[in-house]
Structures are given as C-alpha cells and as structure tokens.
Amino acid sequence: MSLLDIKQRFGIIGNSPGLDRALNKALQVAGTDISVLVSGESGVGKESIPRIIHSQSHRKHNKYIAVNCGAIPEGTIDSELFGHEKGAFTGATGTRKGYFEEANGGTIFLDEVGELPLSTQVRLLRVLETGEFIKVGSSNIQKTDVRIVAATNVDMIGAINKGRFREDLYYRLNTVEIHLPALRERKDDIHLIFRKFASDFSDKYHTPTIRLEEEAVEILRNYHWPGNIRQLRNLAEQISVIETERAIDAATLMNYLPDAGKGGLPAVYKGQNTRSESDFSNEREILYQVLFDMRKDIADLKKLTGELMQNNEISEEWKSDNRSLISRIYKAEEETEEELSSDLDSNGKFLPVYQDDDEPEIQTDFYDAGHDVVEEQPVTLQEKELEMIKNALDRNNNKRKDAAEELGISERTLYRKIKQYNL
C-alpha cells in the first residue's frame, strides 16, 4: 500500500517531511515482529502509527487492543494486562483473561507506557523476552504471541535517570523508534488540517463551513500549538459552533488564541506591579557584595604589583610601557576606597544604609540632607549572608534549588550554608 493510500485510509492530512518519514518507517517495520516505540508530544496523533503497523502486518486478521497505561489504577493494572485467578484479591469473584491473553496472535498498543509502575515493568519485560506471563494469583506460566507497540510523550532517558523506568525495558521497547513531529513543525499542514476539521463539523452540526481570511491563516500558521492536533480540532469545533459569521478574520481568531504571537510565554499586563520592595532590597544586598568584592580584588592587585616592583621582579621597561595601567589601577583602588569607606568600618562591617522617601538608595554619608540620622548596629558579612539566604528561601517557599538559582550559587553550597547557620 502506498503512502497516499495509507493517509487516505487513516485520515492523515499533511505532506511535511517529518510526517512522511514517520509513516514510511511504520510501513517498513509492519511486516516484522520487532517492538516499536512511538514518541512525540501529547496530541500529535501517535495512536495512528500502531493501527497502520497492525493493518499492514501478518497479524491484521487477529485482535488489535489499545491500552492507556496512564488511565488504569496502579493496583489493578497487572490484572488488566495479565489477568487474574478467582480469589486472587478482594472482588476477584472469577477468573479473568488479561489483554495479553486476549490479544494472542495480534497486536497490543501500550499508550503512555512511561506511566507503568516498576513492578508491572518487570512483568512486561518478561513478556518481551520470553513471551511468558503469569496471572495475578496464579503460579502457572502461560505463553502469548503478541506484537507490542508502545507510545510515550515523556523523556524516557530522564525517567530512567530518575529511577522511574527500567533501562532494559526501554531498549527492548525501543528496537525501532518512530517520532511524530509537533504541529508547529508542520506549518504548511496546519491550514489543511483545520479545513478538514471545519468540513467535518459542518456536516456534524449542519452548518455552513467556516473559512479563514488570509491574515487569520498566518496567525494559525505561526501559533505555537502546545496541544498540537487535538488543540487544533477543539479550536475548529468551537468556532464552528459559536461564530455566526462563516468568514473568520484575524481579530475573531485571536479571541480563541489569547496568547497568539507571544510564543507561549507568560504575559505581563499593563498596570501589574511586578517588582516588590523585597526585590529592591535583594538587589541592594547583591550590590553591596559586588562592590565589596571589587574593592578586595583591586586591593589585592595593587598589593601584588607593589611587591613585584619592590622586589625588582618587574623590569623598568615594563614599568615604563605600562605606566598608565599602573596609574589607573592605583587610582581605581583609591576611588573605590573612598566610595566604600563610609559603608565599611575597619573591621569589614557594613555601616547603616539610609533610604530616601521616594526610592531605595545607598547613602554613603552618616548624614543625608533633609533627614535625621538613624543609628543602627553595624552588620557583619556573615549576618548579611544569613539574611540573604533567609530571604531567598522565604521567596521560594523553602525550595533549595530555586533559592540557590536566585542567589547564584550551587544547591550543594546552599545546603552547606543552611547547615552552617542551623536554618
């Protein structure tokens, strides 16, 4: 059967290279019994691939069973897949066949296979390796001959690294991987698919078919489609039912795609105050630390160059060629000393910071014109660090990873600081 025939039979619309590549691969492996893993985002139509494989295989006259692994409760999934004996558990009033027994000689499609519990993964691995399984509550080994096609929209390698999915099972399922591209990667197909949905809903609801104006088509093409084909279908159905005008312009379409043109990023609305006083306070704390570190670096650099010159380790020729550089280093250090001298005492403690009424501002004098002097206790660097860590943890609901990212340090360093300060 040709690629065009397959598309017509299964209602697949589009001519994108990624889609054609996936369909051709499905036709190539259909005549074999090797396991196939279908990958792709939610809503891209992964359920079509196992149907195509089954229809073109020597098993096409036997059963095809599709199982949504994510929709079956963990406590009953073993019974659903492998069956159970009478009395195996509360409510097991009789012997029941599982899907693997029912589909003997046919094909099983395991959708959302990444949601399987680890105990069920062990049973599934045995079926893949030996074709054997045991019913729940039984000790008898049974044989089955099924073709397994699995699908997932999760990062399987990430799930393996987190211990949520068995690596050996992944490689048994993933003998051949067929990847379906996201809808946003098939821009030329989007309008074609929309028109097909619009025609279907016109027949279903006995209304004239809706059509998109040129500007609306461009919005449709450039939208990011997080829900893929499923979202596009829902959009076509909504517009077909709600709109009385059959010609849909860009403004009307935008009412159904409120975040169109923003790339899926959260919107910031006018008038929304996105920065609080705590944000400014945090910036002041970081600024203090940066200035203090800069002062130390320049002082260390001056000390190093001074020692080198005193020990005659720097040639007179180098001194002459870099006289302006040496002058700038010493001048910069002196300026930094002057700027920070009123913020730090001789013990390296921060002196009080005074704020103007209008906005936060670092004051470098003990007296600011128009304001009374407020005496406060000096703050040590450790106290400042402790305050910054507490504030970051409070802002991030005690989530160490998020707090560490905000502070610009590693999570391990933050954990050590938390233990050091007994937080």
Tell me the CB-side half-sphere exposure of residue 104, using CA atoms within 13 A. Answer: 11
Share the mean pLDDT of the chain.
81
Residues 112 and 70: beta-carbon distance below 8 Å: yes
- My answer on whether 40 and 107 are in the same domain is yes
Instruction: Confirm whether 409 is domain-assigned.
Output: no
- My answer on whether 18 and 75 are in the same domain is yes
Q: What is the mean pLDDT of residues 235-257?
A: 93
Instruction: Confirm whether 297 is domain-assigned.
Output: yes
Nearest to 392 by CA among 358, 349, 421: 421
Domain boundary among 131, 153, 181: 181
Domain boundary among 120, 155, 181: 181
Residues 322 and 308: beta-carbon distance below 8 Å: no
Region for residue 14 given its phi and psi (left: phi exceeds 0; alpha: psi -120 to 50; beta: otherwise): left
- My answer on whether 248 and 168 are in the same domain is no
- My answer on whether 188 and 166 are in the same domain is no
The CATH number of whichever domain residue 63 belongs to comes to 3.40.50.300
Instruction: Confirm whether 394 is domain-assigned.
Output: no
Domain boundary among 147, 181, 215: 181
- My answer on whether 83 and 192 are in the same domain is no
- My answer on whether 55 and 110 are in the same domain is yes
- My answer on whether 157 and 105 are in the same domain is yes
Instruction: Confirm whether 194 is domain-assigned.
Output: yes
- My answer on whether 373 and 351 are in the same domain is yes
Structural domain boundaries, residue 292: 277-379
- My answer on whether 192 and 227 are in the same domain is yes
- My answer on whether 297 and 219 are in the same domain is no
The helix/strand/coil state of 58 is coil
The CATH number of whichever domain residue 236 belongs to comes to 1.10.8.60
Per the model's pLDDT, the better-predicted residue between 188 and 338 turns out to be 188
What is the full DSSP assignment across 251-281?
HHHHHH-TTTTTTTPPP--TT-----HHHHH
Residue type, 79: S
In angstroms, the CA 127 to CA 67 distance is 16
* Pairing of the two strands 211-212 and 247-248: parallel
Q: What is the largest CA-CA distance in the chain?
A: 100
Tell me how many domains the chain contains.
3
Query: Looking at residue 388, what is its pLDDT?
Result: 84
Instruction: Confirm whether 391 is domain-assigned.
Output: no
- My answer on whether 32 and 68 are in the same domain is yes
- My answer on whether 349 and 373 are in the same domain is yes
Is 70 exceeded by the pLDDT of residue 175?
Answer: yes
Alpha-carbon separation of residue 119 from 77, 78, 125 (angstroms):
10, 9, 10
Residues 136 and 79: beta-carbon distance below 8 Å: yes
Residues 126 and 166: beta-carbon distance below 8 Å: no
How do residues 323-361 score in pLDDT, each as one tens digit?
666 665 555 445 444 444 444 445 544 444 444 444 444
Share of the chain above pLDDT 90, in %: 56
How do residues 80-132 score in pLDDT, each as one tens digit?
999 999 888 888 888 999 999 999 999 999 999 999 999 999 999 999 999 99
Instruction: Confirm whether 401 is domain-assigned.
Output: no
Instruction: Confirm whether 215 is domain-assigned.
Output: yes
Instruction: Confirm whether 266 is domain-assigned.
Output: no
